[in-house]
Amino acid sequence: MTTPRDLMELVRAPAALSVPGDAMAGAAAAGALGPRTAGLSAAAVCLYWAGMAANDWADRDLDAGERPGRPIPSGRVAPRAALGVAAGLSAAGLALSGLAGGRRALAVAVPLTGAVWAYDLKLKGTAAGPAAMAACRGLDVLLGASARRGGWRRALAPALTVAAHTYTVTALSRREVTGAGRLLPGATLVGTAGVALAASGRAPRPGLVRSLAAWYAAGYGDAQVKALATPDAGSVRAAVAAGITGLPALQGALVARSARPGAAAAVAACAPLGRALAGRVSPT
């Protein structure tokens, strides 16, 4: 019988703590941070979880050989049930987007949903995979900005910043089972430094912004340095986990750029919480 813990593992539940900050960063940049942001954040979480379930359904045969302990190959979750979870969460994400942000939100949520499914079913194993996942997270940011007409223009910079971070994590994730050469973690480490610099530019509260950007760079960067020294599967997988759980610190820096210190602190607080929960349910 499938248990709640099995479903949490299927959707990588703790990793969802890295999602609301996307919508909040977009909303803050657009000057639209408010009650609607909570609904748009919830929609983004549903779509993220949908993507995780669809990922495991699409990879069920591959996981049977490489990761037999995952919920589907281990027999704890039936393939049909996983597909149903993915479809149901996709529908919930679209419904929440419409309720919270109306047509403008749906104009982002619909292509976001399409991008999530396209990545899982077609693009993940191709050279376009990292870019496709980066696009998903960038659209998450724009979803938060959709509460205000034309808000996406002001949220384009944080969307690109989050997308660039996501590209590095996704590139690493393609080698979390087999391990990698030193070139890959070296390249993503350089990318992480660039992302941190982009996030810590001019801002009304430069001290807070730079502190959060440095926190992000230190946490994720340290894991990549270890993967660079020993690029085996375990080190690469740890770097991927650090990239997922450390994202809220980057999102907090982006929120702080719009002079929202309280909201920025709340977003960044998800980073240590995510790391703690990752010890119970893997985010990868």
Question: How many residues would you count in the chain?
Answer: 284
In this predicted structure, what is the pLDDT of residue 283? Answer: 86
pLDDT at residue number 96: 98
- In Å, how far from its chain's centre is CA 64? 25
Query: How high is the pLDDT of residue 282?
Result: 82
Residue 95 has pLDDT above 80, yes or no: yes
What pLDDT score does 53 carry?
Answer: 98
Q: Where are the domains of the chain?
A: 4-278
pLDDT over 90 (residue 180): yes
**Distance separating alpha carbons of residues 9 and 284, to the nearest angstrom:** 9
Q: What is the pLDDT of residues 184-203, one digit of tens each?
A: 999 999 999 999 999 987 77
Lowest mean pLDDT among 95-99, 197-201, 238-242: 197-201
Average pLDDT value for the chain: 95
pLDDT in tens, 120-156: 999 998 999 999 999 999 999 999 999 899 999 999 9
Burial (0-12, 13-18, 19+ Cβ within 10 Å), 188: buried
- In contact, 146 and 120? CB cutoff 8 Å: no
Q: What is the mean pLDDT of residues 76-90?
A: 98
